[in-house]
Structure 1
Amino acid sequence: MATLLDNSNGWHSGELAVHKLLKVPTSSRQNPTNHGFPPAYGYRVTVSPLVAVGTLDDEGRPWTTIWGGERGFARPVAEGILGVQGLVDKTHDPVIQALLGEAVDGEVYQPENIKLMSALSVDLETRDRVKMAGKMVVGSVASKSDSNTVAEAQLAMHVQESLGNCPKYLNIKDIRAHIPSPLLISSSLPLPTGALALIEQADMFFISSSNGQTMDTNHRGGPAGFVRVVSNTPDSVTLVYPEYSGNRLYQTLGNLHNNPLAGIAIPDYTTSDILYLTGSTQLLVGPDAAALLPHTNLAVKITVHAARFVHDGLPIRGTPGELSPYNPPVRRLATELPPSSAAATDETTSSPTATLTLTNREILTPTIARLTFLLKNREPQPRSWHPGQHITLTFASELDQGYSHMREDDPQSLNDDYVRTFTISNPPPPPSVEENDTGKGKEDEVKVQLTVRLHGPATKLLFSQRFGATFAPLEIGVLGIGGAEAFRIPVPTSSSAGSAPVGATSAEDSDSRTKAVFVAGGIGITPLLAQAPGLLSSAAGSEEEDKGLEVLWSLRGEDLPLAVDSFERIEGLGGVTRVFVTGDKNNVDEDVVEKLKELGAKVERRRLTREDVLEARDIVRGTKYFACASPALLRSVVDWLGEEQVVFESFEY
């Protein structure tokens, strides 16, 4: 919470520094934190079955815990006084030890020195929460006769500041009281496997911090797995999480700016397991955040100094309910993404270096279109690409509506940077040899084609935008063109085949080259569309029936016209492709299926299987697999292939 000592509007120096860092105006804003503990907040705490509590240990380290039970276990007991009574883990709970560790079992304890406290009550059924800050007044802890670790604690907290918070990023849960049986699994670093699994599935945690005069306990939530493990070794345990769009008070971040220490509690409501962490933090802004978590403008990196992982340590359990509509997709570490699918590449900048102007749109299926653009560079040096590479675009100028705290009509837009990456579907143009008056090469108009599926605001804009002489042109900024060279299929350069196309990776001998197998799911075929003309034409002069390329393409029935279009445009592609038709049989046009067969494709009315993928191997020449598909299919393909050579891209960028 905030202390009111720094200026007339109630912001402390750390909050003001973060406002300045993030360019948030504060000159006329009044800090909404309340003095004391208004009755309305007291009622909201009373109906909450969960309270997260923070304090400092004897070393000044923050810790956070979670207490709970039947509604009413925490409630006002006098003016400005919050009373809490419930079961606790007296042996492993670091907050109990810091607050009541000196108490004699069963006797009332009143601390001689001030013990700062903070608390956050949460009703996960209604997504209501109330923050409180103050100090401990009195407490007691009485051991249960049938347990060495479980005790009943009573504690009174003088609430000096309080604040009601918005419900964003809280996933609904039905919380109920539970009698715990705590068992310490680990109290050392690195984190054990069970703790890592808890972090991976966690959709919320609680964090406590201090600015030196007061404390703050707050909640962070999102999709399961939004907290990422950067490192977990005996020498370094580091986590990171993205800071989503919020109320822009930055009370937690303001504390961390002044004092980077933080205490974390990560619960598992299904098992009642809890992970306690304490450590130091680092605020990452702009490029520093995006370098670690692509598509993130603000993140917090946590270096863990101490940890306790306790099985069945919580006095509550919960059943999952509705997810928050504000949850963005999980933002994975840059190191977790395939090099070719990371949005940030060596060729990507933070501001547009070129523009794409939409000139044509061909609707291929109800949800897939081929879009044609003209590429215009803003740099003296022309920008081109290699077959199979992707282009990163910014739609912010068209779609970003600026800051908004809540947006009920489009919740996920609050955390959208409107940066999108698409694979370029057409080969690059040949280098121009025409010269202008200065003797430099004259750049022709460059066409860029993207084959995209309708999904989200950016593609909705591309599908609906009008174009032509009577309409203003749609110009989209280009941030960069990239993609790993490893995802480009080598092109043979035998004497019969001629030279490899411009930008292609060459193989020395088409008769001995490794066989390439491309596994695609849906529009995952797009990296091959730009490469296939060069691959197939280079092998056209070969007398071999096998061209060294086989394509396994899983496609929904309603999307089969995309395959027809691809095979008609790229001679020979149908002849090396097996199409696996999935989805509702009623969406399959039999005339389209017959057309695919006429174009040389083999059509299978079933899902792609492990046997299909392994049958494509060439034992004599060797096989290299290339896969581009949805995350689910991609995981299956990688598992099926085991030790086989495989290079892959996903749709997660």
Structure 2
Amino acid sequence: MATGYHPGELLVQDRADLTGEATFSLGAIGETVPAVAADFLAEQPMIIIGATDRAGRVWATQLTGDPGFLRSPDPRTLVIDALPLPGDPLADLLGAADAPAGTPHAERPVRLGMIAIEPATRRRMRLNGRALPRGGGLHVALDQVIANCPKYLQKREFRILQADEVTAAARTVTSGTALSAAQQRTVREADTFFVATASDRGDADASHRGGNPGFVQVLSPTRLRWPDYVGNAMFLTLGNLTLNPAAGILIPDWSTGSVLHLSGTAHIVWDADERFRVPGAQRLVDFSVTDVREISAASPLRWSDPGYSRFNPPVS
């Protein structure tokens, strides 16, 4: 994987007629964490991760901790002092690897896609690599470190709940195969979600999508659609989907700490008549839901109301 584009990314770049822009953006993909990026990571209370579970489903989830729980002890390593909590769709995959040597999966790296964002400053960075849980956390050998632009990221400030507040917040886990009416409202009201994908070789990626509330359409309890806005022309997400349609979505509730996990498949809609109906859409992505996991009080973080990005196109 490293710093070059794979065939799926090249195919999308060519079809979008953005090969030149993609070649320029290639300079933002590296293999090491610069010192300024290491400092950025150390300040964050959250990182989004994406991976493929043992059933072949792709999921996105979040890991949280006090600032400092993300560390880059050397330019090719990221240490995350956290693991998914019980009930999280990636808990079994990552937790089992933290077993003594010689047990199944103990030394088998998990291909992980990651994105760290700082909503207050609209900064973000993506990291991809191979993770082994160690000592209650993850040690990730990095393959890609990617600088991202701040477009479509809503401004928010965070606070971390105190211990007594965490105890008082009841945590529940519900699963299904379709979105309930309440979950459909959550999707329609979202201004942010995170999407995880993987290439045909299994290399994982996690990315951010943002817009004004309503930018994600609920076409049915098992079908969503969102616009692909102007970006950096890398097409890391769409390139993966071209080779492997499996995808996972994480929709956070910024005010309650609850999260909605969706897994399924996605494909790109190139039809001009379809995209012209959606302001700002360069392409559309249709997502078919196969698995739903909702977890209340999943995070000790609470975030302020958003300051919407000036780049967000209007929602019709």
Provide TM-score, normalisation by structure 1: 0.44
2:48/2:116 contact within 8 Å kept: yes
5+ residue gaps, structure 2, are none
Q: Which residue of 2 aligns with 1:20?
A: 14
Give the 5 Å matches for 1:566-605: none
> How far apart are the structure 1 equivalents of 2:312 and 2:75?
37
Other structure's SS at 2:307 match: coil
Q: Please show how residues 94-109 of structure 1 align to structure 2 within 5 Å.
A: 94-101=89-96, 103=98
1:402-441 mapped onto 2 (5 Å cutoff): none
Deviation per CA, 1:490-544, whole angstroms, max 9, x where unpaired? Answer: xxxxxxxxxxxxxxxxxxxxxxxxxxxxxxxxxxxxxxxxxxxxxxxxxxxxxxx
Equivalent position SS for 1:248: coil
Could you tell me which amino acid in structure 2 is paired with residue 35 of structure 1? E
Q: Is 1:46 aligned to residue 42 of structure 2? A: yes
The answer to whether the 8 A contact 1:266-1:276 is kept is yes
- Between the aligned partners of 2:277 and 2:265, the Cα distance in structure 1 is 17
Runs (5+) with no aligned partner, structure 1: 141-152, 332-653
Of residues 62, 66, 69, the one that matches 1:70 is 66
1:175 CA drift (Å) = 1.7
User: Which residue in the other structure is 2:291 paired with?
Assistant: 306
Which moved further from structure 2: 259-268 or 208-217? 208-217
Partner of 2:5: 11
Matches within 5 A, 1:505-524: none
- Name the residue aligned to 1:222: 211
Query: Compared with structure 1, are the counterparts of its residues 27 and 207 closer, same or farther at alpha carbon in structure 2 (3 Å cutoff)?
Result: closer
In the alignment, which residue of structure 1 is the partner of 2:155? 172
The CA deviation string for residues 574-594 of structure 1, in whole angstroms up to 9 with x for no partner, is: xxxxxxxxxxxxxxxxxxxxx
Q: Does 1:316 align with 2:301?
A: yes
Superposed CA RMSD in Å reads: 2.4
Distance 1:183 1:228 in 2: 26
Partner AA of 2:152 in structure 1: Y
Alignment of 1:149-188 (within 5 A): 153-178=136-161, 179=166, 181-184=170-173, 186-188=174-176
Asked if structure 2 preserves the Cα contact closer than 8 Å seen for 1:16 and 1:254, the reply is yes
Q: Does 1:268 align with 2:253?
A: yes
Matched residue, 1:194: 182
Bigger relative contact order, structure 1 or 2, given CA contacts below 8 A and separation 6+? 2
Cα deviation for residue 264 of structure 1 reads 0.7
Counterpart-to-counterpart distance in 2, 1:28 and 1:318: 34
- Supply the distance in 2 between the matched residues of 1:44 and 1:22 (Cα, whole angstroms): 33
* Aligned 8 A contact 1:136 1:155 in 2: yes
Equivalent residue for 1:83, pick from 60, 65, 79 = 79
- Which residue, 121, 124, 131 being the options, matches 1:126? 121
CA distance in 1, matches of 2:130, 2:140: 6
Match of 1:245, SS state, is coil
- Please state whether the residue corresponding to 1:200 is helix, strand or coil: helix
Look up the match of 1:36: 32
Matches of 1:295 and 1:126 in 2, distance apart? 24
Residue aligning to 1:59: 55
Distance 1:27 1:219 in 2: 20
The answer to whether the 8 A contact 2:94-2:133 is kept is no
Cα offset for 1:330?
A: 1.6
Contact 2:279 2:313 in 1 (8 A): no
Cα displacement (A) at 1:92: 1.5
Deviation at 1:36, TM superposition (A): 2.6
Please give the alpha-carbon distance, in whole angstroms, between the structure 1 residues aligned to 2:253 and 2:223: 20
Percent sequence identity over matched residues? 28
Larger radius of gyration: 1
Q: 1:123 to 1:294 in 2, by over 3 A?
A: closer
> How many correspondences in the alignment?
305
Alignment of 1:532-547 (within 5 A): none
| Pair 1:135-2:115 in alignment | no
The residue type paired with residue 23 of structure 1 is D
Q: Give the alignment's TM-score, normalised by structure 2.
A: 0.88
Does the Cα contact within 8 Å between 1:55 and 1:115 map onto a contact in 2? yes
Alpha-carbon offset, residue 27 of structure 1: 9.3
* CA shift for structure 1 position 320: 1.6
The 5-angstrom pairing of residues 142-541 of structure 1 reads 153-178=136-161, 179=166, 181-184=170-173, 186-211=174-199, 212-232=201-221, 237-287=222-272, 289-290=274-275, 293=278, 296-331=281-316
- Taking the aligned partners of 1:117 and 1:298, their CA distance within structure 2 comes to 26
- In the alignment, is the contact (CA less than 8 A) between 1:90 and 1:97 conserved in 2? no
8 Å contact 1:89–1:182 — kept in the other structure? Answer: no
Whether the aligned pair in 2 keeps the contact of 1:290 and 1:296 (CA below 8 Å) is: yes
1:394 counterpart residue number: none
